[in-house]
Amino acid sequence: MILTQEKVNAAYGGEKEIDEETFIRLFGKPSVIGDSAFEDCDNLERVVIPEGVVAICHSAFYQLPLKEVTFPKSLAVIGSAAFKFCEELKKITFLGDSVEYIVDSAFHYTSLVVEDEQFCNEFDWDLFYEQAEGVEIKHMDETY
């Protein structure tokens, strides 16, 4: 199932935080988060992507006030501009061993800094265009 912008608009209640249980309650159990799915969720600051999601598509969380995102073990692909212009995004957590591919510009204009590429099999340094201090990236039990 693909989570579309129409379904998100119909179900999103303006929450600031969406944990895994809330995500499933609101949106079901998608395997793909579609293009621009969360486009109008202007209050969203934290999200836990549920297990079972394998892909986050183009601009899925574009230009939101996200501060923190947790990715499931099942995630394989993060699409282009998926988190672009999420300027407050400083903490991402990967629960799995690796993401197969992060497409160019997925994290442009965020506050992320990456110094270690081990969590992604095919890594593009251009993903983390802006750099800032105080950023936390977690992979398994390691914090970078």
Q: Check: pTM over 0.85? Answer yes or no.
A: no
Would you give per-residue pLDDT tens digits along the chain (144 residues)?
Answer: 999 999 999 999 999 999 999 999 999 999 999 999 999 899 999 999 999 999 999 999 999 999 999 999 999 999 999 999 999 998 888 888 778 888 878 888 888 755 444 445 444 444 444 433 444 444 445 554
Specify whether the backbone of 98 is left (phi greater than 0), alpha (psi in -120 to 50) or beta: beta
Element holding 24 (H helix, E strand) = helix 20-27
Euclidean distance between CA atoms 54 and 96, whole angstroms = 11
Tell me the longest C-alpha to C-alpha distance in the chain.
39
